[in-house]
Amino acid sequence: MFKDQKIEAIAYKRAISKSKKIDELKIYPTMPDVEIDGLVEKLRDAKLATDTENKLDKKEVTRGQQFYVESLIKFSALT
Question: What total number of domains does the chain contain?
Answer: 1
Indicate whether 1 pLDDT > 70: no
| Residues 43, 71: Cα–Cα separation, whole Å | 14
Q: Which domain holds residue 17?
A: 3-78
> In this predicted model, what pLDDT tens digit does every residue of 24-63 receive, in sequence order?
999 999 999 999 999 999 999 999 999 888 889 999 999 9
Query: Computed over its alpha carbons, how large is the radius of gyration of the chain?
Result: 15
Q: Which of 17, 16, 21 is nearest to 73 (CA)?
A: 21
According to the model, what pLDDT value does residue 41 have?
Answer: 97
